[in-house]
């Protein structure tokens, strides 16, 4: 249904929160409090806390320690070394960074914040901008590769990226922490906050910011390049408050604000006055309780409000003025449950999940000018029911299964499933992985209801884009030179079939489900630990993609991508992390690449391969104070991840972190 909604989202959150608090507060539930999860525990892959080596899916975890030791400041930076993930950023910090996971489209990667989807409903295709998120308030990032719609619904075809926010330290009534840094390109950044935990309450309040003059994102090879820089200024604030009315009950609220302002460049010409403001509010309230010692149940209500404004004033290159507004709102209401049965017959760690999720998406957007003005004013609602289970057999076989039914207005919904298993083979120090499943991406509000002038009308009868995927992997530990953990080698093979992909019809007057495609490949990884103070890690992803109708490779998916880093800790609190990222040549579609004179290439072209070298060094000077230096693109590579847009130039930032 395309009519605008009239409900007040904050009122809805208040009512759900009150209901949850009343339902979860009885003092008679005096079971032992749930234990804090261990650092290596992964939740995103199955909704069940599971040790990472037993998760029946390919998972990468980036911890807070990783973020600091490697000098990551944005989500795009942190994801560039993830196996199977290709990040393509058309410009500097803030500008559109698209994630292609295992050959899927950028709109096929679902992004979560503390388990809640946050993809912007006003984005025409539903793709996420990975270049916008600062990481000062992020404790860890979990990346699950492969179909995940059985857990999280629409958009999780290529996989899921879950950002998990920082929490107050345990058993610490008060802690102050912060960071400040500065460097080349007039870069200033930092964060600061306070947090604490008492017997019944916990809290965290923090802010963060980054400002940089940056560098020119337009490739210097263009004859018309003027060298104009695309600056960035961004800030964010996070507030979390939790209360435990009983030992087995917790209620918490989280409010997160983020706003960025940055210049937007164009190719093949610089654009001197194209500016974007991008703001997001995210709020959630959540109550959780443990009943009868085995049943964990929780209610959640969350709202995300995105607002993007793009203003481009007249200049020597164009006499027109644009003032585009994109406003997207997403409401999520969720009842989630986990039953921990323990040992049942031959199975142990038997656990089951089930729940209901209600989502409401809205877009109120206007872009461009007549006669080419784009308008989307629509709302969509869906309700999903999910159930899953996990168990361990013979102390070596972990099995997971899940199914989710999404019932949606307009496009009929979808049933997604996933089965997976891991097998420990201690006789040869190896672990095996096998999983398969289906996933889908619902048509976006623009695709269904958007208009462009009088010549384009969205198609409300679009079907969801679908996929079926499988993966099989092995990981082995190899002892050598007196070390049991000298090396860990891994290989994961994957294949995905995409059906009913959405594209323009022949007349470009609407959209249709007209394309099928496939992707297959292998993710190879190696970690060497020749000494206690040295760890070397590398991964190589080989991906083949094809459009079923034409046989052409899918755009911006390189066949080869390699990432390598080392962690060198010689002692005295010093840690040095060099990072090298190499990307092979990648295809661009017709009219999406340019010659040096600025003329368009009318056929499929290939971006040249390129490498980026980064280096971060830190020193824990005292228990409370650390100093660090971050060098980026040390060779000043002019690599173009997207044709015409180069990566940021060489830079150096130095700073300090403290905790008191």
d(CA 217, CA 312): 17
Average pLDDT value for residue range 541-555: 95
Local confidence band at 21 (pLDDT 50, 70, 90 cut-offs): very low
Q: How far is CA 608 from CA 218, 611, 642, 643, in A?
A: 16, 10, 10, 9
What is the CATH number for 164?
2.40.170.20
* pTM tops 0.75: yes
Q: Which helix (H) or strand (E) holds 68?
A: helix 64-70
Over residues 184-232, the pLDDT tens digits come to 999 999 999 999 999 999 999 999 999 999 888 899 999 888 888 888 9
Q: Which residues pair with 251 in a beta bridge?
A: 243, 287
Residue 413, by phi and psi: left (phi above 0), alpha (psi -120 to 50) or beta?
Answer: left
What's the structural domain count of the chain? 1
Q: Is position 4 within any domain?
A: no
Residue 266 confidence (pLDDT) above 50: yes
Residue among 471, 511, 560 at smallest CA distance from 125: 511
Average pLDDT of the chain?
A: 91
Over residues 279-327, the pLDDT tens digits come to 999 999 999 999 999 999 999 999 999 999 999 888 777 777 889 999 9
Identify which has the larger pLDDT, 32 or 150.
Answer: 150
Structure tokens at 364: 């109120």
d(CA 514, CA 641): 28
Domain extent, residue 33, equals: 9-659
- How does DSSP classify residue 645? B
Residues in contact with 213: Cβ distance below 8 Å, sequence separation at least 6, in sequence order: 185, 186, 187, 229, 231
Residue 26 confidence (pLDDT) above 70: no
Per-residue pLDDT at 352: 97
Contact (CB, 8 A) for 185 and 611: no
Local confidence band at 512 (pLDDT 50, 70, 90 cut-offs): very high
Q: Is position 396 within any domain?
A: yes
Average pLDDT value for residue range 102-125: 96
Local confidence band at 84 (pLDDT 50, 70, 90 cut-offs): very high
d(CA 397, CA 105): 33
d(CA 163, CA 178): 20
Over residues 156-190, the pLDDT tens digits come to 999 999 999 999 999 999 999 999 999 999 999 99
Identify which has the larger pLDDT, 217 or 331.
Answer: 331
d(CA 109, CA 82): 14
Q: Is position 433 within any domain?
A: yes
Residue 16 confidence (pLDDT) above 60: no
Local confidence band at 31 (pLDDT 50, 70, 90 cut-offs): very low
Q: Is position 329 within any domain?
A: yes
Exposure string for 67-81, b = 16+ CB within 10 A, e = fewer: bbbbbbbbbbbbbbb
Per-residue pLDDT at 40: 63
Residue 3 confidence (pLDDT) above 60: no
**Cα end-to-end span (Å), the chain:** 53
SS (H, E, C) 70-135: HCCCEHHHHHCCCCCEEEEECCCCCCCEEEEECCCCHHHEEEEECCEECCCCCCCCCCCCCCCCEC
Average pLDDT value for residue range 69-85: 96
Over residues 600-648, the pLDDT tens digits come to 999 999 999 999 999 999 999 999 999 999 999 999 999 999 999 999 9
Average pLDDT value for residue range 460-474: 97
Over residues 359-384, the pLDDT tens digits come to 999 999 999 888 889 999 999 999 99
Per-residue pLDDT at 35: 33
Per-residue pLDDT at 20: 39
Task: Provide, rounded to the nearest whole percent, the portion of the chain with pLDDT above 90.
Answer: 80
Local confidence band at 47 (pLDDT 50, 70, 90 cut-offs): confident
Phi/psi of residue 105, nearest 5 degrees = -75, 160
Residue 32 confidence (pLDDT) above 80: no
């Amino acid at each position: 249904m395309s009519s605008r909604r009239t409900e007040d989202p904050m009122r809805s959150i208040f009512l759900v929160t009150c209901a949850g608090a009343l339902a979860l507060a009885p003092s008679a539930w005096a079971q032992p409090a749930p234990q804090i999860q261990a650092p290596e525990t992964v939740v995103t892959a199955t909704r069940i806390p599971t040790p990472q080596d037993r998760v029946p899916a390919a998972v990468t975890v980036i911890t807070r320690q990783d973020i600091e030791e490697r000098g990551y400041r944005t989500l795009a930076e942190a994801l560039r070394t993830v196996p199977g993930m290709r990040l393509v950023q058309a410009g500097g910090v803030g500008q559109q960074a698209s994630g292609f996971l295992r050959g899927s489209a950028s709109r096929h990667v679902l992004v979560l914040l503390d388990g809640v989807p946050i993809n912007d409903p006003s984005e025409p295709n539903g793709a996420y901008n990975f270049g916008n998120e600062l990481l000062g308030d992020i404790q860890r990032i979990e990346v699950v590769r492969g179909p995940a719609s059985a857990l999280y619904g629409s958009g999780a075809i290529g996989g899921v990226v879950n950002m998990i926010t920082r929490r107050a330290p345990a058993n610490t009534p008060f802690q102050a922490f912060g960071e400040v840094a500065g460097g080349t390109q007039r870069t200033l950044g930092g964060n600061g906050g306070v947090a604490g935990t008492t017997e019944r309450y916990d809290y965290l309040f923090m802010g963060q910011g980054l400002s940089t003059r940056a560098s020119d994102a337009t490739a210097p090879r263009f004859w018309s390049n003027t060298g104009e820089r695309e600056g960035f200024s961004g800030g964010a604030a996070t507030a979390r408050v939790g209360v435990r009315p009983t030992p087995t009950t917790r209620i918490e609220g989280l409010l997160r604000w983020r706003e960025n302002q940055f210049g937007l460049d164009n190719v093949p010409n610089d654009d001197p006055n194209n500016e974007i403001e991008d703001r997001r509010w995210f709020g959630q309230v959540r109550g959780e309780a443990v009943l009868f010692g085995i049943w964990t149940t929780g209610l959640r209500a969350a709202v995300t409000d995105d607002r993007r404004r793009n203003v481009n004033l007249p200049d020597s290159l164009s006499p027109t003025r644009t003032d585009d507004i994109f406003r997207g709102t997403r409401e999520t209401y969720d009842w989630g449950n986990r039953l921990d049965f323990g040992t049942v017959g031959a199975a142990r760690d038997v656990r089951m999940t089930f729940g209901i999720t209600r989502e409401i998406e809205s877009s109120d957007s206007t872009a461009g000018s007549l006669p080419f003005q784009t308008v989307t004013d629509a709302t969509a609602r869906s309700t999903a029911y999910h159930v899953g289970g996990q168990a361990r057999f013979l102390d070596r076989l972990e099995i997971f299964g899940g199914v989710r039914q999404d019932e949606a207005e307009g496009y009929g919904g979808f049933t997604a499933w996933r089965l997976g298993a891991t097998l420990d083979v201690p006789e040869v120090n190896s672990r095996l992985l096998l999983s398969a499943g289906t996933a889908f991406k619902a048509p976006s509000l623009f695709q269904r209801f958007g208009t462009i002038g009088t010549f384009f009308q969205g198609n409300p009868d679009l079907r969801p884009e679908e996929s079926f995927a499988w993966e099989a992997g092995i990981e082995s530990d190899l002892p050598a030179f007196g070390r049991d953990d000298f090396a860990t080698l891994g290989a994961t093979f994957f294949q995905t079939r995409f059906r009913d992909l959405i594209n323009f019809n022949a007349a470009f007057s609407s959209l249709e489900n007209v394309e099928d495609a496939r992707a297959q490949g292998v993710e190879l990884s190696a970690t060497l630990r020749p000494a206690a103070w040295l760890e070397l890690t590398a991964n190589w992803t080989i991906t083949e993609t094809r459009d079923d109708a034409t046989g052409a490779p899918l755009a911006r998916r390189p066949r080869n991508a390699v990432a390598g880093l080392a962690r060198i800790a010689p002692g005295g609190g010093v840690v040095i992390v060099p990072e090298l990222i190499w990307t092979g040549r990648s295809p661009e579609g017709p009219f999406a690449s340019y010659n040096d004179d600025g003329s368009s290439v009318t056929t499929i072209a290939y971006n040249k391969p390129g490498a980026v070298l980064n280096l971060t060094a830190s020193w824990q000077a005292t228990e409370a104070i650390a100093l660090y230096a971050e060098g980026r693109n040390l060779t000043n590579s002019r690599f173009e991840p997207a044709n015409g847009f180069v990566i940021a130039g060489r830079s150096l930032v130095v700073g300090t972190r403290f905790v008191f």
